[in-house]
Amino acid sequence: MTRPRLTERILAARLQRTMQGRVRQRRIVTRRDGVRYEVDGRWLTNFGGNDYLGLSQHFAVVDALQASAARDGAGSGASHLVCGHHANHDALERELADWLGAPRALLFGSGFLANLAVMQSLLTEDDVCVQDRLNHASLIDAARLAGCKLRRYPHADPEGALRQLRTVPDGVAMLATDGVFSMDGDIAPLRELSLVARVQQALMYVDDAHGVGVVGPDGRGCVAEAGLDASGLLQLATLGKALGGYGAVVLGSEEMIGHLAETARPYIFTTAIPPAQAASTLAAVKLARRDHWRREKLQSLIAHFRHTALFRDLPLLPSNTPIQPLMCGDDKRATALATALEAQGFWVPAIRPPTVPDGRSRLRITLSSLHTQAEVDALVDALTWARDAVEMGYGAGAKQSSGAAVA
Contact residues: ligand PLP, CB under 6 A = 110-112, 115, 136, 138, 178, 182, 207, 209-210, 238, 240, 248
Residues with Cβ within 8 Å of 186's Cβ and at least 6 positions away in sequence, in order, are 156, 180, 317, 318, 319, 321
Rounded Cα distance, 58 and 54, in Å: 7
Closest separation in Å from C-beta 140 to ligand PLP: 10
- The residue among 68 and 277 lying less far from ligand PLP, judged by its C-beta, is 277
Tell me how far, at minimum, the Cβ of 257 lies from ligand PLP, in Å: 18
Report in angstroms how near the CB of residue 249 gets to ligand PLP at its nearest.
10
Q: How far apart are CA 310 and CA 296, in angstroms?
A: 21
Q: How far is the CB of 136 from ligand PLP (least distance, A)?
A: 3
> Which residues make Cβ contacts (< 8 Å) with residue 268, sequence separation at least 6?
79, 80, 81, 262
Compare residues 67 and 145 and give the one whose CB is closer to ligand PLP.
Answer: 145
Alpha carbon distance 365, 184 (integer Å): 10
CB within 8 Å of 146: residues ≥ 6 apart: 119, 120, 122, 123, 124, 127, 129
Between residues 112 and 346, which has the closer beta carbon with respect to ligand PLP? 112
> Terminus-to-terminus CA distance in the chain, angstroms?
60
Q: For the CB of residue 402, give the shortest distance to ligand PLP in the complex, in Å.
A: 36
Q: Is 17 helix (H, G, I), strand (E, B) or coil?
A: helix
CB of 49 to ligand PLP, least distance (A): 12
CB of 308 or CB of 366, closer to ligand PLP: 366
Of all helices (H) and strands (E), which one includes residue 151? strand 149-153
Q: How far apart are CA 185 and CA 210, in angstroms?
A: 9
Contact 390, 340 (CB under 8 A): yes
Strand pairing of 173-178 and 128-132?
parallel
CA distances from 83 to 80, 261, 268, 270, 271 (A): 6, 14, 12, 12, 10
Smallest distance from the beta carbon of 373 to ligand PLP, in angstroms?
27
**CA–CA separation, 224 vs 212, rounded Å?**
9
Q: Which is nearer to ligand PLP, 246 or 394 (CB)?
A: 246
Question: Can you name the residues that pair with 130 across neighbouring β-strands?
Answer: 151, 175
Shortest distance, position 57 Cβ to ligand PLP, whole Å: 18
Among all residues, whose Cβ is closest to ligand PLP? 111
Q: With contact defined as beta carbons under 8 Å apart, do 338 and 206 qualify?
A: no
Question: Least Å distance between CB 308 and ligand PLP?
Answer: 27
Looking at the Cβ atoms of 111 and 213, the one nearer to ligand PLP is 111
Task: Classify 217 in phi/psi space as left (phi over 0), alpha (psi -120 to 50) or beta.
Answer: beta
- Evaluate whether 90 touches 97 at the Cβ level (below 8 Å): no
